[in-house]
Amino acid sequence: MFLQTGRSVKIIAQDIQAPDTANIEVNVLIKEPKEEFFHPPIGITHPKYWKLRKLAPQQSRLLQIQYSGLSDKELRKAIKEFKKGSS
């Protein structure tokens, strides 16, 4: 998926089966226009990295998605497509 900023975003979704529920885990990787490879949207060099260390894994993942530049609408669309393809 390409964002208006020129950044490419790769959304990786997978089913997480638990005994009582089914959840979808979403990870986002980004690639700037001049970069060759995809990478997590926020790393140890990011000014707000300290926030990730203090959060639970799921909250950390949500913050990374927010920092990727991916809108809620685009994320919902990707999840909807994933659910449609996995059913």
End-to-end CA, the chain: 22
pLDDT of the residue at 37: 93
pLDDT of the residue at 36: 92
Place of tokens 């994320």: 75
Q: Is residue 45 scored above 70 in pLDDT?
A: no
CA–CA separation, 47 and 62 (whole Å): 17
Greatest alpha-carbon span in the chain? 44
**pLDDT tens figures, 60-74:** 777 777 777 777 788
CA–CA separation, 17 and 74 (whole Å): 24
> Taking Cα atoms as reference points, which of 27, 19, 13 lies closest to residue 83?
13
